[in-house]
Copies of this chain bind each other. A is one copy, B any other.
Amino acid sequence: MAADTSRSIKAVCVVHNETSTGVTSRVADVRRAIDAAGHPALLLVDTISSLGSIDYRHDEWGVDVTVAGSQKGLMLPPGLSFNAVSAKALDASRTAALPKSFWDWKPIIEANKNGFFPYTPATNLLYGLEESLRMLEAEGLPAVFARHARHAEATRAAVRAWGLEVLCADEREYSGSLTAVLMPEGHDADKVREIILERFDMSLGTGLGRLAGRVFRIGHLGHFNDLTLAGTLAGVQMGLQLAGTPIDPVGLNAALDVLRRG
């Protein structure tokens, strides 16, 4: 940022929880870095797979635009998305010369003032949202985040006890939503996924881009409890064995050791 003396960078875009790798970004640190460079760039954050699962602070961390969706931590079907927008981002939007229509905030901000939408909204998902927010508040956000963190910790314990590697290398960036697992050389992650889908009716995430075939991803977010996680990890352990991956089948028990602690 400091090198950008011409201020050609208009915005820094960060994914809070990187779904393809199970790595989170330290958003507050990114903000501090931008500020330390005295750079006016906006900070835009994608929280699709973190909102409602991993602690996130739009205002406190100085984020300008937060993007979220209904289909992960909010436990709803896909079909709603959300923007939180800072005053600075609004100003930038007003003066920006970029053509925009669908992505224009102005009409929805105007209409929402009176409780309306500038288009026909996905009404039934709004009813669902009311209920999922009630559920999150009933459990309490700190408890919700702690539950996800605990499940992620138990999952990593399983992975390591199997003798496999968690893709995320920096413990400050572990994801509470999902864990990506590296396969040993010469073993195909997609084969494991295929066996698990076929035999146990469970669909795991695939590796994307450079990671294709090398990792599979275990999701543990949203409406999820200790026994759902145990069932999930049991399926992974059996699938790895059926695929001939050399693992030590003590992974599931290692996860239970974490879960049992509460």
From B79, B227, B234, B238, A79 is in contact (CB under 8 Å) with B79
Bound together, the chains give a CA A103 to CA B101 distance in angstroms of: 10
Cβ of A225 within 8 Å of any chain B Cβ, yes or no, is yes
* Chain A residue total in the interface (Cβ 8 A): 41
What residues of B have a CB within 8 angstroms of the CB of A228 in the complex? 231
Report how many copies the assembly holds: 4
From B77, B78, B241, A260 is in contact (CB under 8 Å) with B241
A residues lining the B interface (CB < 8 Å): 69, 71, 77-79, 98-99, 101-103, 120-125, 199-202, 225-228, 230-232, 234-235, 237-238, 241-242, 249-250, 252-253, 256, 259-260, 262
Q: A230-B234, A237-B256 are in contact. List 14 more A-B contacts (CB 8 A).
A: A77-B123, A78-B122, A78-B123, A79-B124, A102-B103, A201-B227, A226-B235, A227-B232, A227-B234, A231-B231, A234-B234, A234-B256, A252-B256, A253-B253
